[in-house]
Structure 1
């Protein structure tokens, strides 16, 4: 498995289904900790790491090694542990075992597990589980959604992003990470309502046709966005950066940090966006959970 061109559509679909199984299994660990005691501490960047993050990541990394031996894994807790990063191969996994940790610790249900296979700088298969909501999305060539039943994906159905509604856009915002640049981008669009939702669940809602746009001008990491990026794109939407291109994954920076982006259910919105050239907000100052969407 060396690049996007060598992975067939059926193979990507099989990989995505496997990632959904793994994400749901990790979600069961998170559910056990949710709304109960969950020891946690701050990482060097100021974001929280909990026992739930670590245990879920251990399960995911072990499962990926067993099912896809030889493929590198970049996982949040390990990547931010201070260990030096090696050079990535063209094909690798990006893993966020618990996206939205601070909201999770506060007891809110919209946290997620994100797993993506990247090949040639773009995700080609992905899963995004929302254990607290009982939902899981996954995508190879197309996006599927299922309820989570007994810790596994239930009966799946294809989902599709929706065109711009005549009444106006439903925008999704981050509960803890608003900024003036994001507000300015949205002000230029026909937004009817803005709803606050935690974690990468926002991408799943856009892919399912339940919302239209998510703009993020503050800092995020590659493992925050890769799974949701592919799930939106395979549902007919897109995730764009300044200039209208896609996010490219596997950069060899010290922290795998993204710049500004927008997830859109209807790609026709892309030319109307004016994203800033670089991330805004507290990117240079560590703050609690600053890198989570």
Structure 2
């Protein structure tokens, strides 16, 4: 039976508490010489990632002991279930290590192939977002959320869209998508905070054609979608999750505050969309590479 709206909101509240606690750990490591290694895929993993993940795992297992956790650091090869968590204990590790405050903690509960509750904490900027059946944000004070306030996407400003772009991951395909839109301003922001700033009505669009993973996007996707926006793939359909057979990779996507722009994007089509295969089928039909 699907989770009802009250349960989803309750879980989202709990996830924001956990994300803020994990974020407090990250904040203590931020700005110093944080020990790290480079993983086989070329991305860094720091002692902050590991400490944050441990806190999240301990908290989730205490509160939801039967729900499996797929996380970037230690359980990225675990298959999904009908109900499972997607976790990125430190999204934006490179920026974090460079002293940039735009890093985040992402926690998301997936039911079937779509999010139903999530939290994105930005400890470096003192803000946290969450969504169950409703979307909200709060100021972080002493490692805890304060009053949770409802959020909603905005109407597109008359002087054009505000596009959020990755600080470190620009590519020609993304530029081609943005070139066909009335962009009035570009703003560099790291991590899943981009989804949340659109959800809070501070920006309008984020396009990403380069590689990302499901734990990078799921929590922010749910915040934005619940606030009235959308996250779509090249087919024009919403992005989906649980694609174990392709290592939880995303294809090109666009996060929009105004869904009416979905037909004007021109996202690259790389064959059958990575994100239109329902959970479970990818593991059966997509070879591991």
Q: Which has the higher contact order (CA 8 A, sep 6+)?
A: 1
Structure 2 vs 1, CA of residues 276 and 102 (structure 1 numbering), >3 Å: closer, same or farther? same
**Counterpart selection for 1:272 from 256, 264, 272:** 264
* Alignment-derived partner of residue 116 in structure 1: 108
Question: Deviation digits for residues 57-115 of structure 1, max 9, x if unmatched?
Answer: 011011100011110100100135xxxx3432111000000000000000010100000
Aligned to 2:161: 169
SS in 2 for 1:71: coil
Write out per-residue CA displacement over residues 133-161 of structure 1, whole angstroms, 9 at most, x where no aligned residue.
00000000111000001101001110101
Give the distance between the partners of 2:160 and 2:20, measured in 1 at CA: 34
Q: Which residue of 2 aligns with 1:26?
A: 22
**Secondary structure in structure 2 of the residue aligned to 1:78:** coil
Instruction: Give 1:47 shift.
Output: 0.1
Distance 1:200 1:188 in 2: 24
Rounded to whole Å, the distance in 2 between the matches of 1:60 and 1:21 is 10
Aligned to 2:94: 102
Structure 1 residue runs of 4 or more that deviate by more than 6 Å after TM superposition: none
Unaligned 5+ segments in structure 1 are 280-293
- Post-superposition Cα deviations, 1:3-43, rounded to whole Å, max 9, x if no partner, equal xx520101000000000000000000000000012100001
Aligned match for 1:188, one of 180, 184, 198? 180
1:87 aligns with 2:83: no
Corresponding position: 1:246 with 2:238: yes
Equivalent residue in structure 2 for 1:132, among 120, 124, 131: 124
- In 2: Cα distance, 1:278 partner to 1:111 partner: 29
Say whether 1:199 aligns with 2:195: no
Which residue in 2 is equivalent to 1:289? none
Q: Is the 8 A contact 2:153 2:258 kept in 1?
A: yes
Structure 2 CA distance for aligned equivalents of residues 17 and 161 of structure 1:
20
Aligned to 1:77: 73
Moved more, 243-252 or 109-118: 243-252
Q: For residues 270 and 178 of structure 2, what CA distance do their matches in structure 1 show? A: 17
Is 1:143 the counterpart of 2:139? The answer is: no
Provide TM-score, normalisation by structure 1.
0.91
Instruction: Assess, with a 3 A threshold, how the Cα gap between structure 1 residues 273 and 141 changes in structure 2: closer, same or farther.
Output: same
Gaps of 5+ in 2: 272-289
